[in-house]
Chains A and B, each alone.
Chain A
């Protein structure tokens, strides 16, 4: 029934094509992405620049609202044979598409279309997150970010400090001092599904601790979660301690103010969030709020490792024609230009994904100028350890979004219902493992590339 329906859709599509205006000489391709608001506008501008830069191809860029919606729509379109040529897939959706076989591998596409891409030019931390276990790139890293610590310089000056905490021990002392100095909200955080990655995944990344066995799942679908066994448990206990002392406060849309708004408003003095928010906070910060960013703290005696990249990458989908793939390759070639990296990083908070782009930005003095100063910490954080480091370089777990939900549920039971930290995290891990086993069974017989 399925095959019949999709062939019916196919016929319909052909008919629609034939009925359309006589084929223009330009090859048109679709690009679906999940960003919205200001970022969506910036993506659109990038598409316009590409379309204006040459006459052979036209890329039609459509925002689908959110990462989840974009993935859903792309999957639905793919199953009906109506997929776009290029689709943006976020970190959480990477494994599903990787196992689907529904794509044209990026490295193969570029070779087939006659482009030579220096894949080593990508920052290893970014490339490895999206690469296969053998280091091959099946998609193009696109909007990339990582977590940073944002701190209020004036508040820290009041407690006699001119730098952000480098260790969590130092941070704990700072929170205490800030509280004593009369600040009601030294650290603001949130534990909803979408805000646990900087507290959990990034914490484990910079401490070089695995979140799951098999190098966080890169080496097999039979990985098991281990976040309930390492240093992270201690961190959650510490965080709970700060929370109970009123040194850390939960700020969310539900309470009436997100932690980002609270920081920009000067109500809270420290937050952990994406470098992607750097531009936003710069624009919305209350007059006189004097702030800066730093790398995430680590516990004393920790050998700092690279943090993980967040964001999304671009995939080329199966079932398109040769000219359409040519257009896609031309588009990727275009957005890889250093000048594009500069424009992109200027108008968004995202970081350049290639060494060459970063170098170009440095040469242009991008990181010396006031609104963008500080974003270089994100690059430093992403490249803190070498690419050959045995620590996990990313996360490749099935049902990652559901696992984040389980972690979030665990944290909420700790912070809201005062459940025991170890018990709650053990339970999150156990339920997460059930999700992983289910995922493994769904893709029975498939091997991780």
Chain B
């Protein structure tokens, strides 16, 4: 009989996972529980106590037309940045996969933007996109007043979407590239021998085989665009002009960290969490059907 090292009880197993469980509890469940509790109270910032207010925080938020505006803008931002970040990353990955000139350099360079902290990124883009002093001021010299994110809400939204997408293009690129490289060469070679050009091969072979990666990145990008944008917004627009870039997550950051309204921020976090969960469910329910894992 084969000799096996077995543990007689689950205790030892549990002991091994205990540190991880403690970590998860302390850094995930405990703060989440705290936020959930605060969302139903009015918490004094210095810890002097709180009062239970039931659903008041949620009622106030949902009755506020500007909060709904922030939800709408978050969706626009999420869709816009995901489309750009995934679209461009895919094109770049397809090119790199075809081993165009310099593909080795791209492979390592394109991941860099992801490593840049959001505030630094915001600072750089604020300069690049400034209407009077940045690179884009050239546009204004040709068509005066065409580009002004400081005073035009639409331009400001475009500016933050561009900055955010730029960061995630690199991240998406790496996933796309590795997925492309795992597609068996024999498939594309066979197609090439049958006379299909590069575009046809991309469309009929590579893209269908990429769907699991596409789906994964879609979920990640949408989620991140709802959560990771406040640093860029804070540096580039502070939610302005006239609320044009006030996204849900920036409002949480501002109300909680600057305004010391912990309970309001907690309630907003819960709403944001529910929205992200909902979006993820929708994606799994309706989009995953079209994904072929095999």
Which A residues form the contact surface with B (CB < 8 A)? Answer: 1, 68, 71-72, 75, 78-79, 93, 96-97, 99-102, 192-193, 250, 252-257, 399, 401-402, 405, 408-409, 412-413, 415-417, 434-435, 438, 441-444, 446
| A192 to B156 alpha-carbon distance, docked (Å) | 14
For the complex of A and B, the 7 pairs showing the least CB-CB separation, nearest first, are A256-B133, A100-B46, A256-B130, A254-B150, A256-B132, A412-B242, A442-B42
**Is B208 positioned at the interface, with any CB of A under 8 Å from its CB?**
no
| A97 to B46 alpha-carbon distance, docked (Å) | 7
| A412 to B66 alpha-carbon distance, docked (Å) | 15
Q: List 9 A-B contacts (CB under 8 A).
A: A68-B257, A79-B46, A101-B48, A250-B151, A254-B149, A255-B150, A401-B259, A416-B242, A417-B242
B143-173 near A? 1/0 per residue, CB < 8 Å = 0000011111100100000000000000000
**Is B269 positioned at the interface, with any CB of A under 8 Å from its CB?**
no
Asked if B241 contacts A68 (CB within 8 A), the reply is no
Asked if A416 contacts B43 (CB within 8 A), the reply is no
**Is B47 positioned at the interface, with any CB of A under 8 Å from its CB?**
yes
Binds A, one of B14-22, B232-240, B275-283: B232-240
Chain B residues near A79 (CB-CB < 8 A): 46-47
Knowing A79-B47, A405-B254, A441-B51, the reply to whether A413 touches B150 (Cβ < 8 A) is: no
Chain B residues near A446 (CB-CB < 8 A): 48
Question: Which residue, of B44, B60, B243, has the highest number of chain A Cβ atoms within 10 A?
Answer: B44
Closest B residue to A1 by beta carbon equals: B30
Other-chain contact of B131, A256, A408, A435 (Cβ < 8 Å): A256
Asked if B240 contacts A192 (CB within 8 A), the reply is yes
Chain A residues near B137 (CB-CB < 8 A): 256
Chain A residues near B198 (CB-CB < 8 A): none
Asked if B48 contacts A100 (CB within 8 A), the reply is yes
Question: Which residue, of B134, B239, B258, has the highest number of chain A Cβ atoms within 10 A?
Answer: B258
Knowing A100-B44, A250-B151, A399-B261, the reply to whether A257 touches B240 (Cβ < 8 A) is: no
| A253 to B150 alpha-carbon distance, docked (Å) | 9
| A71 to B259 alpha-carbon distance, docked (Å) | 11
Asked if B153 contacts A416 (CB within 8 A), the reply is yes
**Is B255 positioned at the interface, with any CB of A under 8 Å from its CB?**
yes
Say how far A286's CB is from chain B's closest CB, in angstroms. Answer: 16
Other-chain contact of A93, B43, B237, B260, B264 (Cβ < 8 Å): B260
Question: Which residue, of B132, B239, B257, B263, has the highest number of chain A Cβ atoms within 10 A?
Answer: B132
| A205 to B42 alpha-carbon distance, docked (Å) | 32
Asked if B46 contacts A78 (CB within 8 A), the reply is yes
Which B residues form the contact surface with A (CB < 8 A)? Answer: 30, 42-48, 50-51, 53, 60, 126-127, 130-134, 137, 148-153, 156, 236-243, 254-255, 257-261, 263-264
Say how far B155's CB is from chain A's closest CB, in angstroms. Answer: 10
Say how far A370's CB is from chain B's closest CB, in angstroms. Answer: 30
Knowing A402-B255, A402-B259, A402-B261, the reply to whether A441 touches B42 (Cβ < 8 A) is: yes
Chain A residues near B47 (CB-CB < 8 A): 75, 78-79, 100, 102
A255-B132, A402-B258, A442-B50 provided; 16 other pairs, C-beta below 8 A? A71-B260, A75-B45, A101-B46, A101-B48, A193-B238, A252-B150, A254-B130, A254-B156, A254-B240, A257-B133, A401-B259, A405-B254, A409-B242, A412-B241, A413-B243, A441-B42
Asked if A442 contacts B51 (CB within 8 A), the reply is yes
| A254 to B50 alpha-carbon distance, docked (Å) | 39
Question: Which residue, of A1, A412, A415, has the highest number of chain B Cβ atoms within 10 A?
Answer: A412
| A251 to B241 alpha-carbon distance, docked (Å) | 13
Asked if B150 contacts A442 (CB within 8 A), the reply is no
Say how far B56's CB is from chain A's closest CB, in angstroms. Answer: 8
Asked if A102 contacts B48 (CB within 8 A), the reply is yes
Question: Which residue, of A97, A438, A443, has the highest number of chain B Cβ atoms within 10 A?
Answer: A438
| A255 to B150 alpha-carbon distance, docked (Å) | 5
Asked if A256 contacts B134 (CB within 8 A), the reply is yes
Asked if B131 contacts A96 (CB within 8 A), the reply is no
| A256 to B147 alpha-carbon distance, docked (Å) | 13
Question: Which residue, of B156, B237, B238, has the highest number of chain A Cβ atoms within 10 A?
Answer: B238
Asked if B43 contacts A442 (CB within 8 A), the reply is yes
Asked if A254 contacts B236 (CB within 8 A), the reply is yes
Asked if B150 contacts A250 (CB within 8 A), the reply is yes
Knowing A402-B259, A413-B242, A416-B241, the reply to whether A442 touches B132 (Cβ < 8 A) is: no
Asked if B45 contacts A100 (CB within 8 A), the reply is yes
Asked if B258 contacts A438 (CB within 8 A), the reply is no
Closest B residue to A412 by beta carbon equals: B242
Asked if A255 contacts B46 (CB within 8 A), the reply is no
Chain A residues near B53 (CB-CB < 8 A): 441
Say how far A342's CB is from chain B's closest CB, in angstroms. Answer: 34
Chain A residues near B152 (CB-CB < 8 A): 416
Say how far A432's CB is from chain B's closest CB, in angstroms. Answer: 12
Chain A residues near B156 (CB-CB < 8 A): 254
Closest A residue to B57 by beta carbon equals: A438
Asked if B45 contacts A96 (CB within 8 A), the reply is yes
Question: Which residue, of A192, A250, A256, A412, has the highest number of chain B Cβ atoms within 10 A?
Answer: A256
| A1 to B51 alpha-carbon distance, docked (Å) | 17
Say how far B196's CB is from chain A's closest CB, in angstroms. Answer: 49
Asked if A408 contacts B258 (CB within 8 A), the reply is no
Chain A residues near B127 (CB-CB < 8 A): 256
Chain B residues near A100 (CB-CB < 8 A): 44-48
| A134 to B165 alpha-carbon distance, docked (Å) | 54
